[in-house]
Amino acid sequence: MTRWIALALWPVALALGATATAAEASRQTHAQATSLSPSCKGKSSKVDDEGFVVIGGIEQWVTAKGDSCALPVLLFISGGPGNPLSGISDSVYGAGQRDFIVVQWDQRGAGMTYGRNPPAPDEKLTIERMAQDGNELAAYLARRYGKRKVILWGSSWGSILAVHMAKAHPELFYAYVGTSQVVNSIEMQSESYKKLLALTTDADDKDSLAVLHQVGAPPWTDPRSFGKVRRIIRKYEAKVTLPPPESWHRAPAYTTAKAEADYEAGEDYSFLNFVGLHGDGMLSKVDLPKLGTDFAIPVYFVEGAHDLLAPPELARRYYDAITAPDKGWVLLDRAGHDPNQDVVDAEYKVLRERVLPLVHDK
């Protein structure tokens, strides 16, 4: 849920036409001919694609970059909702392009996708619709780059969406890697609030305590409460974690006035859908264990020890309950909810050492 201004280029068309439902797309993954990009004329060709793909009946922005078409596809599901990382992917995740075709996606209601398809005033985001979008995209990517499956990677809000995707269509994925894993909204907010009260009391931080007492214990019915508490979370995580590197930056081509305006409008729209005007948004419905704790694919978690938004104890309890062909847990001492270099390095270590051996379509 990190606030990044998404970078945006004007559309360079990817092959359009991935309009099947998630179930249809899943069935067609091996049946349809692969539509490789013009750059993929051979397995050694570099992948550098960006543009709009028809997903769920609307054009959605997708970027895919990797040193070779032979590499496995790594689909990143970003947080927020409304915080796509397509614009800063090269500076944050560029190192992964040596081993993967790294795919970023501006989800429905966010970034470039929002700019292309401004929602109607009464149009609502739902976890189910966005999970269908994600699975349709996963099937499209497998066809496009000639893969049997793709690797699924989600962070924060993206960890909610990714689990829904993996549970609905595990046949699309080699494995799931989750970071800043959100599990249950009620437990998350309650534990987060208790931790913040303890920290601010110990620090005699009267300003923060006043805010916490003003918003009261969750669940909240005022959408502004979540943002007020989030600012305190960042303040206290910053005391014990490493900041992101200064080298993380937006590419110049993505800093147009329209791109930034679309990003900010999409962020506002997505946030309101997430928390709801009366605490009744998508977040209120999050309870991943209800989907079942049995996974048909390997599951790996990379968590910040100082995550005050989605406390790692809750992710650990969920992890311990999971049954999967393989699973792994990494807890990072100098990390919180938002990514830093330690988080990215640990994610890539898991992806290279635990997930790459599972891929058989290089």
Q: Per-residue pLDDT tens for 244-302?
A: 999 999 877 678 999 999 999 999 999 999 999 999 999 999 999 999 999 999 999 99
**Tens digits of pLDDT across the chain (362 residues):** 333 222 222 222 222 233 333 333 333 333 223 333 455 666 779 999 999 999 999 999 999 999 999 999 999 999 999 999 999 999 999 999 999 999 999 999 999 999 999 999 899 999 999 999 999 999 999 999 999 999 999 999 999 999 999 999 999 999 999 999 999 999 999 999 999 999 999 999 999 999 999 999 999 999 999 999 999 999 999 999 999 999 999 877 678 999 999 999 999 999 999 999 999 999 999 999 999 999 999 999 999 999 999 999 999 999 999 999 999 999 999 999 999 999 999 999 999 999 999 998 65
Domain coordinates of the chain in residue numbers?
Answer: 22-186+241-358
Tell me the pairing of strands 150-155 and 327-332. unpaired
Q: What is the CATH number of domain 22-186+241-358?
A: 3.40.50.1820
DSSP labels, 193-228:
HHHHHHHHHHTT-HHHHHHHHHH-SSSPSSHHHHHH
Q: Are 347 and 315 in contact (CB under 8 A)?
A: no
Q: Are 61 and 23 in contact (CB under 8 A)?
A: no
Taking the CB of residue 230, how many other CB atoms lie within 10 A of it? 16
